[in-house]
Amino acid sequence: MISNKEILKYFPQPIFRYKVDNFKEFNKELLDYIYKLNKEDKEGVIRSNRGGWHSKPFELKDKSSIQNRFAMATTKYVFDAIKNYGWKLDPAKTIVTEMWAIINKPNDFNVIHTHPNSYLSAAYYVKAPKKGGKFVIENPLDVARHSHPVEERKTEFNIKVAGLEIEEGELLIFPAYLPHKVSENESDEDRIVISFNININHFK
């Protein structure tokens, strides 16, 4: 055992995980809103979803709407993530550029992707049944794709892929460049997520 050592950890990939206040009240209204959108637009759009339904961007202009009230409720978590990054926080210049919903029915999943042209991305879990699909991230560093010796055990230094089990009411905020996907919904219920992108407009 070597006692006189220091391990320096640089270039971490943060994922901020929050439990949203009053999430049960939000989720009831959000479910009604999302299923209404799904009923009105059965096809939705195709992005990373495979078999699932991906909505068009939410309309956020009506300040009294559930989607706008939800977006406003997430700002304190977004600001906290920005502060933890050490970025300069200017609420007037921090904007949600796009927000949408995804419904994954049994056997649906999402392929690996990133969110270009944003600083941060977020995923909020409106409905998250057990075995509904893990949030899976991949190490974005090029060095992770190089060859390595045989691993004796998994550590934070050699891990290439990680999967997170998520609960209803949880909000993940992460760097938009982080490759991520959703594993197959192995439950017999819908898995419903609201995702959104965050930018900081330095040019205003």
Provide the CATH number for the domain formed by 16-200 in this structure: 2.60.120.620
pLDDT at 146: 81
Beta bridge partner(s), residue 181: 136
Q: What is the pLDDT along the chain (204 residues), one digit of tens a residue?
A: 899 999 999 999 999 999 999 999 999 999 999 999 999 999 999 999 999 999 999 999 999 999 999 999 999 999 999 999 999 999 999 999 999 999 999 999 999 999 999 999 999 999 999 999 999 999 998 777 788 899 999 998 888 999 999 999 999 999 999 999 999 999 999 999 999 999 998 765
Beta pairing class for 53-54 and 94-104: antiparallel
pLDDT digits (tens, 9 = 90+) for 19-59: 999 999 999 999 999 999 999 999 999 999 999 999 999 99
What number of CA atoms fall less than 13 Å from residue 104's CA on the CB side? Answer: 29
Pairing of strands 94-104, 135-138: unpaired
Q: Taking the complete model, does pTM exceed 0.75, yes or no?
A: yes
- Reported as type and span, the H/E element at residue 196 is strand 191-200
Closest to 117 in 3D by CA, of 58, 59, 176: 176
**Which pLDDT score is estimated for 203?**
61
* Tokens (6 digits) for 126: 């409106």
- The two structure tokens encoding residue 202: 């330095």
Q: CB neighbours of 103 closer than 8 A, spacing ≥ 6?
A: 34, 38, 52, 53, 190, 191, 192
- What does R_g of the chain's alpha carbons equal in angstroms? 18
What span, in angstroms and rounded, lies between the C-alpha atoms of 84 and 12?
A: 12
DSSP SS3 for 180: strand
Residue linked to tokens 């060095």: 143
